[in-house]
Structure 1
Amino acid sequence: MIPYGRQSISNEDIQAVVETLQSDFLTQGPAVPAFEQALASYCQVPYAVAVNSATSALHIACLALDVKAGDRVWTSPISFVASANCALYCGATVDFVDVEPDTGLMSVRALAEKLQQAAANNTLPKVLIPVHLAGHSCAMQQIATLCQPYGIRIIEDASHSVGGTYMQQKIGSCQFSDITVFSFHPVKIITTAEGGVALTKDVALAARMQLLRSHGITRNPDDMTEVSHGPWYYQQIELGLNYRMTDLQAALGLSQLKKLDTFVAKRLEAVARYSNLLQNLPLDLPTECPAGQSAWHLYIIQLHDENRRLAVFEALRSAGIGVNVHYIPIHTQPYYQKLGFHWGDFPQAEAFYSRIISLPLYADLTAEQQQQITLALQQAFQE
């Protein structure tokens, strides 16, 4: 089976983890701050807060922005459920902004219309979470311009996008957002096995997220409510969580980060091959934001005939091609339907979902494997 995504682990990666295993620290040691510093430097942003998953990063990002009961958070319906769940964890209400039909990215026009209606109804969101689907950046400059007059804070869910750029800056620079989140799950561009990070330019937000990821505990005397009892002393000053990244994960991440640009370049080569191989088939190829360079986490095609999607999908799986679908619209999930959402609420997202299939894409995908995938697609359309 050719999977839709997979990690690329070298001997250097393995050795980095082994060295950490043989060190004095498996967790809360020097590897995590080293990984944070290296990633912040790569993204040209002052602060990076590493955690055990991108879901955790989204959660502490919402908490750091004081999302709470009574607040509203808007995100994209075309994403993994974590993009919306993070707000629910804080007691907030979630709503969605429909997407562009050709990209699945948050629609600027739909956002403008929804903001205008919300302003009239006094139902504006506190936080907006645009999702950089497949590694392609949303139109962040326009989104930020729309949000600024209302004081809406922005979290970029860039789980798919480490290594990408937008308007000549690395995604993660927080050029048009308060916080940016990356994922390091094994199928992402680089991996820490499991893991995530929240990046920000704001020192106060960074400090708050650092506190929240580790039980709300501080050892900094300046933050304490009384004089320290001694070198052993700490205080819990907030209700935090155990979202820490281990040194084992960070060691792998540091090693992987050295190859990030190489991984993205290999994905770009594979994308170029797909463009040539698939151009005459009855499907639309993916497009990226013209203002940036995608990290190409996913290669999402859209079939011209949505009624053939299931048959094509099953034919590809039967041929050993591990295709997938990214994503089922969040608002159609049973849990969200219990919250009052229905099929038909976000028609562009639902139309996008009905035609999409994610083809395999990862750094080590070979030209021969792409030929095999193309042949299987051709045969699926002929059947």
Structure 2
Amino acid sequence: MIPYGRQYIDEEDIRSVIEILRSDFITQGPKVEEFERALAEYCGATYAVAFNSGTSALYCAYRALGIKEGDSFITTPITFTATVSMGVMLGAKPIFCDVEEDTGNMDVNLLEELITQNTKLVVPVHYAGHPVNMQKLWEIAQRHNLWVVEDACHALGSSYKGYKTGSCKYSHITVFSFHPVKHITTGEGGAALTNDRDLYEKLLQCRNHGIRRGEDWEYSVEFPSFNFRITDIQCALGLSQLKKLSTFVERRRKVAEFYKSRLSNNPHLDLPVEKPYAFHSYHLFPIRLRDEKRRREVFRRLRQSGIFVQVHYIPVYWHPFLNYPKGLCPVAERFYSKEVSLPIYPSIKDEELYYVVEKLEEILSD
């Protein structure tokens, strides 16, 4: 089977984990801060806080900004549910901005008309690894005194106008995920980066039960929270993976170039783009079928051929926990109806890529 995504683990990664298992600290030790410093340095941010998942990082980012019941936040429907559900968990109401047809990203031109007196936050999602037009979004947010959290769970290694995603050049907090299908993995894990000291301290508290440390044994719980801590075992793996990130992104981009070279003239498909302001890190390679009625057939036949394609994503507001009316974001719904994600990951073999393309072309030609 060829999956749509998977981790790459080498002997260096394995040795780094074994070293921690033989050490004094397997959690709450020095590797966590070491990983956080390395990640912040790579992205060009001042602070990083590592979490046990990207979902936890999103929750604590929203909480650090004071998002609460009665507030609303604007985001995209083409995302994993965590982007939205973590705000809903805090009592806030999601407002959905439609997307660009070619990138699947939030259409920033539609953002301002969605802002109300209750809007406190905008959450752009860098879908598939292609950055949103952040400078324009930031200018709108600044005019309306809104917080900005970048959901960059797809986009480690990408850049916007020369600034690495995670630098928080045009946001208050940026969130990453380290799930095995992402650019680097810690097994499960995530992080929130910021340049603001106060937000950094709130993120640390939210990760660890709301605790603020005092002198000696003393501590106080300033607000109730959860145990969102990541282990030293995971961070040792993350540090080892981070050393290979540039190579991983380079390989993903070569895979994307291969798909484009072979499929760009196919009359049945539209392919991902890379806008002039963006350096795409290709977490996903989302193709769109021009005949959406064939999507399920193509999906099933590829899987029957051992190619485990996926679909990203069902519009979030269709899910029962929200159940907003269909038709709310027509471009997003059209994007979803056509999208299929092809396999893309650093260890995919060239012969597997040829097989994917040949099978896809064969199915489309029927």
What is the TM-score with the length of structure 1 in the denominator?
A: 0.94
- C-alpha distance in structure 2 between counterparts of 1:305 and 1:142, whole Å: 33
For residues 187-236 of structure 1, what are the alpha-carbon distances to aligned partners after superposition, in whole Å with 9 as ceiling and x for unaligned? 00000000000000000000011011001112234xxxxxxxxx222222
- Secondary structure class of the residue paired with 2:8: coil
Q: How many residues align?
A: 365
CA contact (8 A) 1:273 1:367 kept: no
- C-alpha distance in structure 1 between counterparts of 2:174 and 2:77, whole Å: 18
1:253 aligned to which of 233, 238, 250: 238
- Secondary structure class of the residue paired with 2:336: helix
> In the alignment, which residue of structure 1 is the partner of 2:307?
321
**Counterparts of residues 37-76 of structure 1 (less than 5 Å):** 37-76=37-76
**Counterparts of residues 1-383 of structure 1 (less than 5 Å):** 1-115=1-115, 118=116, 122-123=117-118, 125-221=119-215, 231-281=216-266, 282-337=268-323, 341-383=324-366
For residues 56-92 of structure 1, what are the alpha-carbon distances to aligned partners after superposition, in whole Å with 9 as ceiling and x for unaligned? 0000000000001111111110000000011011111
Gaps of 5+ in 2: none
- Secondary structure class of the residue paired with 2:122: strand
Q: Give, in angstroms, the shift of residue 3 of structure 1.
A: 0.2
- C-alpha distance in structure 1 between counterparts of 2:248 and 2:133, whole Å: 24
- Secondary structure class of the residue paired with 1:128: strand
- Secondary structure class of the residue paired with 1:61: helix
Cα RMSD, aligned residues only: 1.0
For residues 8-49 of structure 1, what are the alpha-carbon distances to aligned partners after superposition, in whole Å with 9 as ceiling and x for unaligned? 000000010000011111100011000000000101111000
What's the % identity of the aligned pairs?
A: 48
- Secondary structure class of the residue paired with 2:322: helix
- C-alpha distance in structure 2 between counterparts of 1:59 and 1:52, whole Å: 12
Q: Give, in angstroms, the shift of residue 342 of structure 1.
A: 1.1
Runs of 4+ in 1 over 6 A off after TM superposition: none
- C-alpha distance in structure 1 between counterparts of 2:15 and 2:154, whole Å: 26
CA contact (8 A) 1:71 1:92 kept: yes
> In the alignment, which residue of structure 2 is the partner of 1:226?
none
Gaps of 5+ in 1: 222-230
CA contact (8 A) 2:95 2:114 kept: no
What is the TM-score with the length of structure 2 in the denominator?
A: 0.98
